[in-house]
Chains A and B, each alone.
Chain A
Amino acid sequence: MKDNSRRGFMGKAFGAVAGVGAVASLYAMKRSWDPLPSVKAAGFTTLDMSAYNDNELVTEKWRGKPIFVLKQSKEMLETYDKNISQVTGKSTAEMDKKRLIKIGDDYFAVCVGLCTHLGCIPGYNPEEKGFLCACHGGMYDDTGMVTKSPPPRGLDIPPFKIDGMKLVLGEEGPEYKKMLEDGITLKV
């Protein structure tokens, strides 16, 4: 009996030491799988917004991800106004080009060029003014709003800060924070 309780104690003592060790090593293993600080720190991209042409998709790169930059032509802005009031039921003035970024007098669609379904890169068709994802057939309009499932939401907008005619990706400016608040995009 005495032996038993002594063995029981030894078993529990070992269990406690092993438990602490197991938790500690699991934490160390988890941390070893984390992205490296150098990976985390890299990643501000500055774009000169005066260099883009109407309805011509340019793919930039930010944190290894493709970033679509599409300068909106006059015609595209008019269709956008029509569509947004149809989709939301709100007046054009109220919704005022929320997905677009205004720099100078121009409007730009700037989105992460990865399908929100499973991350393929959609292709742009300048005639039809829409994106098509070849992987599972998802479609977006020229502002990155989703028009055919399976994508659950429009193309995500990367964090940005407007700096004159320049756009800094990776920094969160007031315009971006407003988009987050309004639920226009998710944080990426």
Chain B
Amino acid sequence: MAHFTKAKSLHDWLNQRLAVDTLRRVLSTEYWIPKNINFLWAMGMVIAVTFGLLLISGIFLLMYYQPNVDLAFDSVNYTIMQEVGYGWLWRHIHGVAASVVFLIIYIHMFTGIYYGSYKNGREMIWISGMLLFVAFSAEAFSGYMLPWGQMSYWAGMVITNLFSMGGLHMDGLVEWIRGDYVPSQAFLNRFFMLHVLLIPLAILGLIGLHFGALRIPHVNNQDGEKIDFKAESKKYLSGDKVHAKVIRFANDFISKDMMVVGIYLVFFFYLVFYHYDFAMDPVNFDPANGLKTPTHIYPEWYFLWSYEILRPFSTNLGLIAFAFAQVIFFLLPFLDRSPNAIPASRRGLFKYWFWAMLIDMIILTAMGKVPPEGLFSAIGFYAALVFIGLWIVLPFITKYEKKFKG
């Protein structure tokens, strides 16, 4: 049995039982962060804070929301918005955060792609991050069902229909997922369960994995420099903080992180108080009606790019293209054949690949929003082809990339 002595203080008492000093050292004071990073390295913390806002606002919404097809719409639009004191605040925080978190996730992802932060030992960071992206997408979709407005209902109809797998006609599977022939009470109840319990649990677990995956390879830096964290941390601890290339996670790095978070929160609450409408589709303020499709159905902005990859093709081809778009980002660490983990600007053809991919996804997003007619239809079609083409050429252009000696 471990040897316990009479504690000299509460800290000592806890330390003997929980090793709080060791934990603090491993997780923060001697978790080393490179000095040569920029504000883009704060996006992870910005996402974590936004997730916290979603959790807290969600708890208050949960106290009045009714997961019942007859009551859900009014419980959101009347009870929470009109009767509950500051209910509007929780709803607008929840809605705005659900939208903005995807903006930050995309910035976070493209930062990783630009700086090559997904290879040479950082593969698990990328993969756990992509799993988080999938979990957040499922969380966003299931949450979108809950107000039971027209867009909720018809998005639910269209997305669950994807599981019939086009030409395979697996209608039984679709009915099984819904618990009914069409979205109804069983459907609303199970998506409510997914939204408030199962998916948030998965997200919490995945956040743990994502942070854990970061601990051993450490974060990348903006120069693609290979840092000897052992040697540099020794330099820091011996007092040579000027020449050490690293700083402590806490309190050094976290203070800069929270500075960015502070600026972000000002912007975030500006949206919550003055421009929350961008996250609230007007069509969803009509109660769900299974006998009337809205004239134009589109997903929230953050799903538009993959929706546009689905749209211009015939059913089966569209589903295959859509499935491709959903999984291909997972394979990035393996499709990029170059060992260079340096900024895209110094990587030959990959530089053009990066910007082409970013611009193509913005075009797909824009085309997903407009009606599928004429010129828009054509632009969307070619942008979808470019997306697929870019992934096919990636292994070839990176294979012949010159090795960076740094």
Binding site for B on A (CB under 8 A): 33-36, 39, 43, 59, 61, 63-66, 117-121, 123, 134-137, 149-152, 186, 188
Tell me whether B241 is interfacial, beta carbon within 8 Å: no
Q: Which residues of B contact A63 (CB under 8 A)?
A: 181-182
> Hey, which chain B residues are within 8 Å of A39, CB to CB?
179-181, 184, 186
Contacts of B290 in A (CB 8 A): 64-66
Contact B313 A150 (CB under 8 A): yes
Query: Please, which residues of chain B bring their CB within 8 A of the CB of A121?
Result: 291-293
| B166 pairs with A120, CB closer than 8 A | no
The winner among B294, B311, B315, B373 for most chain A CB atoms within 10 A is: B315
The reply to whether A134 and B293 contact each other, CB–CB distance below 8 Å, is: yes
* A120 near B154: Cβ-Cβ < 8 Å: yes
Min CB distance, A111 to chain B, in Å?
14
- Is A150 within 8 A of B314, CB to CB? yes
Given A61-B291, A152-B167, A186-B169: A136 in contact with B179 (beta carbons within 8 A): no
Q: Contacts of A151 on B, CB cut-off 8 Å?
A: 315
Total residue contacts A-B, CB cutoff 8 A: 82
- In whole angstroms, how far apart are the Cα atoms of A134 and B157 in the complex? 15
Please tell me if B251 contacts chain A, counting CB pairs below 8 Å: no
| B interface residues with partner A (beta carbon < 8 Å) | 154, 157-158, 161-162, 166-167, 169, 171, 175-182, 184, 186, 190, 290-297, 311, 313-316, 318, 371-373, 377
Q: With the chains together, A119 CA to B160 CA distance in Å? A: 10
Residues of A near B166 (CB, < 8 A) are: 152
Q: Which of B180, B293, B316, B372 contacts A35 (CB 8 A)?
A: B180
Complex Cα distance A44/B167, Å?
Answer: 28
CB atoms of B182 and A65 under 8 A apart: yes
Contacts of A186 in B (CB 8 A): 169
Contact A152 B180, CB 8 Å, known A59-B291, A137-B377: no
Chain A residue contacts of B162, Cβ below 8 A: 118
Question: Which residue of A has the minimal Cβ distance to B377?
Answer: A137
Q: Is the CB of B297 within 8 A of A120?
A: yes
CA distance A117 to B297 in the complex (A): 14
Q: What chain B residues lie within 8 Å of A61 (beta carbons)?
A: 291
Residues of A near B176 (CB, < 8 A) are 33-35
Give the distance in Å from the alpha carbon of A118 to the alpha carbon of B163 in the complex. Answer: 10
CB of B358 to closest CB in A, whole Å:
26
Q: Which residues of A contact B295 (CB under 8 A)?
A: 123, 134
Q: Are A35 and B179 in contact (CB under 8 A)?
A: yes
Q: Which residue from chain B places its CB closest to the CB of A67 in the assembled complex? A: B291
> Which are the 4 A-B pairs with shortest beta-carbon distances?
A64-B182, A121-B293, A119-B161, A63-B181
Q: CA–CA, A150 to B377, complex, Å? A: 12
- Decide if B186 touches A36 in the complex (CB within 8 Å): yes
Which residues of A are found within 8 Å of B377, using beta-carbon distances?
Answer: 137
Determine how close the nearest CB of chain A comes to the CB of B2; give it in whole angstroms: 26
